[in-house]
Amino acid sequence: MKFVSWNVNGLRAVMKKGFTDVLDELDADFVCIQETKAQPEQIESYTDNYPYQYINSAKRKGYSGTMVLCKKEPLSVKYGINVPEFDDEGRIITLEYPEFYLVTVYTPTSGDGLMRLDYRLAWDEAFGNHLKSLDKPVMVCGDFNVANDEIDVPYPDMMQGTAGFSDEERESFKENLLSSLVDTYRVLHPTKIQYSWWSYRGQARQNNVGMRLDYWLVSNDLKDKIVDSKILDDVYGSDHCPIMLDIDI
């Protein structure tokens, strides 16, 4: 089965940049989208190829938000994690299927000067507990707003302590997520340098000065079922590119 995750940085904006053509070309079984920045009534239906569509929008308009497009109907759908302080921004959707749970997440950034770091670390713990509470193998994807390894950023010494590459965020990612899940990209590409996000400033994407912030993580039980895990950095339309997981499940 093929799964795609993409932080589109505004669904209405990416719709004008060939979004549906990308979906048609990739022809994934599931498409997980982060940072929709839209309310349900502002989002088009994709019923031709994806008859099942689930949306979790932020209460604040034009901000955050997640969505999942599916070819197969889930057994259940859960929005958020039942923690009020974390559930107002539409950042999590959990779908249940007979063999697995599929979770998409848009993790909050720590912000300039790590001003939101405490909130971010509390989020990581709450989200990790949510994943550990699920009673089937888990596949979780999205923009985690952290670069786990030094090879996931271009200048690790210079970037140390900045949002997405602080010791606190990286340790939290390892403790709350990688303690029970595996990074599918690193399973197949342990030393490859490739990014999934680039700033809009300073021709960062043209110069390939970015960060690997987007992941497909799966339960250890699914590690041997991974067929492929790719960063599709030839796809444009957002400051992030899509990432794809092919898994035999």
| Residues catalogued as catalytic | 106, 143
Bridge partners of 142, per DSSP, are 105, 215
Pure H helices in the chain: 11-14, 19-26, 117-133, 156-159, 167-173, 184-188
Q: Is 185 in contact with 215 (CB distance < 8 Å)?
A: yes
Hey, CA dihedral for 170, 172, 178, 181, is it positive or negative?
negative
Contacts (Cβ under 8 Å, ≥6 apart) of 162: 114
Beta strand pairing call for 66-70 and 30-34? antiparallel
Please give the structure tokens belonging to residue 5.
Answer: 């995750």
Q: Is 69 in contact with 44 (CB distance < 8 Å)?
A: no
Q: Is 148 in contact with 178 (CB distance < 8 Å)?
A: yes
Mark 174-185 as b/e (b = at least 16 C-beta within 10 Å): eebbbeebbbbb
Phi, psi of 81 (to 5 degrees): -135, 20
